[in-house]
Amino acid sequence: MSKFEIVGLKELERSLKRLGDVPQKYVTKASRKAMTIALRSAKANAPVDTGELKSGLKLVGERSRFKGKKVYQVTFDRAKNDIFQKRNKDGEIIAYYPASQEYGFFARNGRYIPGYHFLENALVENTDKIADTIISEMGKQIDEALKG
């Protein structure tokens, strides 16, 4: 298990206590900006055949019941499912192209083709940048709120 320290977290916590409740727009802005880093990295490392996979990546925000929480996910655009899905003669979905590129698949001859793991690597390689971006954006937003 790895340990790491986030610089500036104590100051951010003190500022949050002075501010009181965290406005949702601050949380949304900070998390969206941070996840844009992962989105760019995933697009840069995605396998290119026709370019549809790169253009089909997007950020989707999860809906939460809790105020002060926002989670974004790098996912595939549902509008491109007609391109991404492979169907058999009966119309059943038998393959999903983005998933096969991420995780790998078995070829017709039985050989396993490993995946590229471009989505997983986008998050793993940029964890520090994402955390720093969230903290710096939240710090900027809170400082503006405390000044004004």
Q: Tell me what pLDDT residue 50 has.
A: 87
Q: Is residue 30 part of a domain?
A: yes
Q: How many domains does the chain have?
A: 1
Q: What is the pTM of this model?
A: 0.82
Q: Tell me what pLDDT residue 9 has.
A: 74
Q: Tell me what pLDDT residue 64 has.
A: 86
Q: Tell me what pLDDT residue 5 has.
A: 65
Q: Is residue 148 part of a domain?
A: no
Q: Is residue 128 part of a domain?
A: yes
Q: Tell me what pLDDT residue 40 has.
A: 97
Domain housing 62: 20-142
45/140 Cα distance (integer angstroms): 31
Q: Tell me what pLDDT residue 124 has.
A: 95
Q: Is residue 4 part of a domain?
A: no
Q: Tell me what pLDDT residue 23 has.
A: 81
Q: Is residue 93 part of a domain?
A: yes
Q: Is residue 9 part of a domain?
A: no
Q: Tell me what pLDDT residue 109 has.
A: 95
| pLDDT-flagged residues of the chain (< 70) | 1-7, 19, 148
Pairing label, strands 57-61, 72-76: antiparallel
CA 78 remoteness from chain centre = 16
Mean pLDDT of the chain, nearest integer: 89
| 134 contacts 22 by C-beta, under 8 angstroms | no
